[in-house]
Structure 1
């Protein structure tokens, strides 16, 4: 397990802070949000806030880690669920990526928050590794079930998982509508499914 999958936030004060901070970041953007705004949203004093987080960057990282952890867990559950491979993979992509980002994307400050991705590069690498691992495991299992020899095709489960994630990343840059993203993601999954046939 990587650090993204291991994250568990059980302290009710931390949860209250992260939930409140997420609301004010979405409402005002990162740069306009102050520690006072976050303390008010969490219904606590500013000194109490500083006992748990050193600054708003620390809070932003904690929110990102929480969301990325939820994303990996959502994909893991969807991939292990019932249904055909294409249905499970499409559901995993929707729950772990498309639906999860709806609140950020629909915010007037979503672009600013998404632009901060570079400050979270280490977390994003861990997230992608964890997500890619679950996708690769599902691909490998489906290839075995179908009797498909990926190596004979010059492929591997991890290569296909990385191609899928790369395609989804490019899709997000090109397509903003969630329904259109779902259609494009389904097409990507169909290509992977075709590669998994014997």
Structure 2
């Protein structure tokens, strides 16, 4: 899980942590596991992160930063409304989704996200919702979409539905299929 603009040693810790969390689960991963994976001593890891909770929160922040960039790029790209939404919704899940859903500890990692990084998630979801709302408003103003409700409300529903798909999918392939279906449904509903 690469994060732009981060110190290479911190990136090594984050990459090792994600690998360990995916392999062992959050609870069973130790700072020693992370340090070994990063090729560092445990005290060296503590120079960069207070504990594994801080590492996990940083991973969640990175996920939201990447999702924002991917969604913004998808919504700004040329193409049909359906193609834009399909790309944006795929970016919403990001590359981390496949890794998490492929892990035998995926559900634990989702649960850990809320307990360890709840505030970060609330902020990240608000940022994604604001991004969708601004795009919906601009598209409505240009006459390219029709909105059955306020753009902020529509954006909140989009994010809530994507979260529901993530939590209920039986695996990554099902998740991708459901996200694609949802994008098609939204495009049809929003078509001007």
Q: TM-score, normalised by structure 2?
A: 0.87
Q: Which residue of 1 aligns with 2:175?
A: 181
* Number of residue pairs aligned between Structure 1 and Structure 2: 189
Bigger Cα Rg? 1
Correspondences of 1:96-135 after superposition (within 5 Å): 96-97=92-93, 99-119=95-115, 120-135=117-132
User: Aligned with 2:96: secondary structure?
Assistant: coil
1:69 aligns with 2:68: no
How many Å separate the matches in 2 of 1:172 and 1:73?
20
Is the alpha carbon distance of 1:100 and 1:21 closer, same or farther for their aligned partners in structure 2, counting shifts above 3 Å? closer
Residues 174, 26 of structure 1: alpha-carbon distance in 2 compared, 3 angstrom cutoff: closer
Distance 1:42 1:143, change over 3 A: same
Equivalent residue, structure 1, for 2:82? 86
Gaps spanning 5+ residues in structure 1: where? 1-6
What does 1:11-22 correspond to in 2, within 5 Å?
11-22=7-18
Cα RMSD of the aligned pairs, angstroms, is: 2.2
Structure 1: distance between partners of 2:27 and 2:19? 14
Choose from 133, 137, 149 the match for 1:136.
133
For normalisation by structure 1, the TM-score amounts to: 0.84
Q: Deviations over 1:88-138 (max 9, x none)?
A: 111111122164301011111111111112221111111111111121222
What corresponds to 1:50 in structure 2?
46
- Pair 1:35–1:173, CA change in 2 (3 A): closer
Contact 2:136 2:151 in 1 (8 A): yes
**Does the 8 Å contact 1:71/1:100 carry over to 2?**
no
Distance 2:90 2:188 in 1: 20
Cα offset, 1:191, TM superposition: 4.2
Rounded to whole Å, the distance in 1 between the matches of 2:144 and 2:92 is 28
> How much does 1:148 deviate?
5.8
Q: Does 1:157 align with 2:151?
A: yes
